[in-house]
């Protein structure tokens, strides 16, 4: 090998490293070592891979929901539960009507999206009044809305016996199965197995469509305007961009993606979880996008995708592997907490102040 091509290779490696960044390199190495342990312990790799892929597909759109708010300068959308609840209302309403399969899923989306637009608009109005503290306020908006909605779940006039508490005959159950409605409709669509690994084609396609759509959006006039508002509102104003309008649009888009995201998540999981379940919905999504390399200043589709893959593969693999290694000691939940919350702290403290 000549000196020149050696230098080229070195340059290429250095560029690749800079692109990736140290935290991601560490996580990838950790991930690979977990796989190595799994092989050594003779665990069923096919199941691990299958679970990882499914979890990536389940969570991809929820993570994607972080991008619009990051782009328009509102920051990480800790108020993700706003959209999640819109999605859940869509899901239970569709179930109440007894719609099955794709029809049920489509109906849930058709109800959830307008609700998310309205909720997102109101949420954006609120955030506009607390500029500079959107993330803090968003967190508590999420918390209070989830708690407030507990009353709704209990009192709402849903009558489908499959959904309400068996005793008393009033109020929705905390966990409702989707077996007889739209559970796994996406996962099973065009699904196939390869080397014992089941590929949920429909789920991945659905996620892919949204990633491509959002990527294109950020290359469009409106998307560029949104990014401009995020990176310098004064420049945006001097370019005739409606700054408040773009921030509002970013929050609405994020809320709508959250609503769609939770529907995708639920159908894959097979259950709808109500009451306090959405309380922490934002945190895995926030951690994912940050692990992917996004910061308050810059966030791309690539960050969301890489973050989803890394974070959720890690969670899927870490759980059974640690359990096998430590023989039954269940530290996986704790490890998950440390990882996701630690990542949030790391990324937020590192973020440059505007």
Binding site for other proteins (CB under 8 A): 216-217, 219-222, 224-225, 228, 231-232, 234-235, 237-242, 297-298
The residue (of 217 and 346) whose beta carbon lies closer to other proteins is 217
Q: For the CB of residue 244, give the shortest distance to other proteins in the complex, in Å.
A: 13
The residue (of 165 and 235) whose beta carbon lies closer to other proteins is 235
Interatomic CA distance for residues 206 and 189, integer angstroms: 10
The residue (of 333 and 352) whose beta carbon lies closer to other proteins is 352
What backbone phi and psi angles, to 5 degrees, belong to 197? Answer: -100, 125
Q: For the CB of residue 232, give the shortest distance to other proteins in the complex, in Å.
A: 5
CB-based contact 160:171 (threshold 8 Å): no
Q: Which two tokens stand for residue 201?
A: 């084609």
Cβ atoms within 10 Å, residue 264: 24
Q: For the CB of residue 266, give the shortest distance to other proteins in the complex, in Å.
A: 29
Q: For the CB of residue 74, give the shortest distance to other proteins in the complex, in Å.
A: 18
Interatomic CA distance for residues 218 and 67, integer angstroms: 10
Residue whose tokens read 């108020």: 79
The residue (of 170 and 297) whose beta carbon lies closer to other proteins is 297
CB-based contact 182:102 (threshold 8 Å): yes
The residue (of 197 and 351) whose beta carbon lies closer to other proteins is 351
Q: For the CB of residue 49, give the shortest distance to other proteins in the complex, in Å.
A: 36
Interatomic CA distance for residues 227 and 286, integer angstroms: 19
Interatomic CA distance for residues 51 and 63, integer angstroms: 18
């Amino acid at each position: 090998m000549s000196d020149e091509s050696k230098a080229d290779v070195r340059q290429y490696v250095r560029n690749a490293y800079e692109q990736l960044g140290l935290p991601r390199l560490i996580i990838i190495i950790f991930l690979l070592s977990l796989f190595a342990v799994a092989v050594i312990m003779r665990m069923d790799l096919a199941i691990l891979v299958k679970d990882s892929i499914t979890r990536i597909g389940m969570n991809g759109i929820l993570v994607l929901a972080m991008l619009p708010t990051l782009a328009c300068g509102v920051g990480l959308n800790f108020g993700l539960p706003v959209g999640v609840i819109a999605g859940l209302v869509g899901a239970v309403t569709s179930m109440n009507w007894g719609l099955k399969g794709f029809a049920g899923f489509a109906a849930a989306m058709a109800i959830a999206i307008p609700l998310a637009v309205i909720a997102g608009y109101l949420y954006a109005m609120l955030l506009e009044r607390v500029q500079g503290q959107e993330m803090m306020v968003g967190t508590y908006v999420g918390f209070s809305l989830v708690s407030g909605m507990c009353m709704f779940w209990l009192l709402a006039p849903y009558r489908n016996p499959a959904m309400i508490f068996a005793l008393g005959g009033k109020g929705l159950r905390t966990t409702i199965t989707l077996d007889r409605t739209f559970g796994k409709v996406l996962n099973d669509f065009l699904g196939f197995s390869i080397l014992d690994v089941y590929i949920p084609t429909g789920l991945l396609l659905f996620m892919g469509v949204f990633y491509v759509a959002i990527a294109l959006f950020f290359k469009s006039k409106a998307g560029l305007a949104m990014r401009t508002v995020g990176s310098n509102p004064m420049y945006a104003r001097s370019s005739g961009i409606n700054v408040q309008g773009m921030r509002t649009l970013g929050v609405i888009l994020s809320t709508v993606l959250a609503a769609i995201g939770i529907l995708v998540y639920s159908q894959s999981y097979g259950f709808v979880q109500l009451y306090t379940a959405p309380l922490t919905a934002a945190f895995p999504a926030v951690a994912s996008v940050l692990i992917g390399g996004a910061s308050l200043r810059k966030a791309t589709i690539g960050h969301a995708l890489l973050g989803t893959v890394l974070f959720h593969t890690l969670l899927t693999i870490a759980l059974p592997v640690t359990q096998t290694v430590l023989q039954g000691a269940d530290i996986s939940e704790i490890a998950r907490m440390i990882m996701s919350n630690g990542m949030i702290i790391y990324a937020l403290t590192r973020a440059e102040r505007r």
